[in-house]
Amino acid sequence: MIRCGQRSIIFLLNNGGYAIEERIHEGPYNVIKNWDYAGLVHAIHNHQGKCWSTQVRYEGELIAAIEMALGDKKDCLCFIEVILQKNDTTEQLIDWATRLTTSV
């Protein structure tokens, strides 16, 4: 995407793991190493092409990042990593996922 000059905005929602999976299936396979995804984009970029990435934790930071992506960085591939709380899920989603796993 960088090499081809894409000017997309990519959002990665990072809750540090598999919160839903952990709730319905216990096991060591759910313990994953949480990467610095915004940093990974810089490593891949290697100062070639136009790329910008950031990591946000709060609503105001997200709004500012979107404004930056649509403004000063509109000629770049933009990657916004949104850090969420680890257990950011709803009981309805947990119930739905549980029903899916029991029907298989």
- Do residues 99 and 29 touch, judged by C-beta distance below 8 A? no
Among candidates 54, 52, 24, 21, which has minimal Cα distance to 37? 54
DSSP 46: T
- Do residues 26 and 46 touch, judged by C-beta distance below 8 A? no
Q: Any bridge partners for residue 79, and if so which?
A: 10, 53
DSSP 95: H
Q: Mind listing the pLDDT tens digit for each residue in 65-87?
A: 999 999 999 999 999 999 988 77
Q: Mind listing the pLDDT tens digit for each residue in 9-58?
A: 999 988 877 676 777 777 777 777 788 888 888 777 777 788 999 999 99
- SS3 for 51-89 is EEEEEECCHHHHHHHHHHHHCCCCCCEEEEEEECCCCCC
Domains of the chain with bracketed CATH: 9-103 (3.40.50.970)
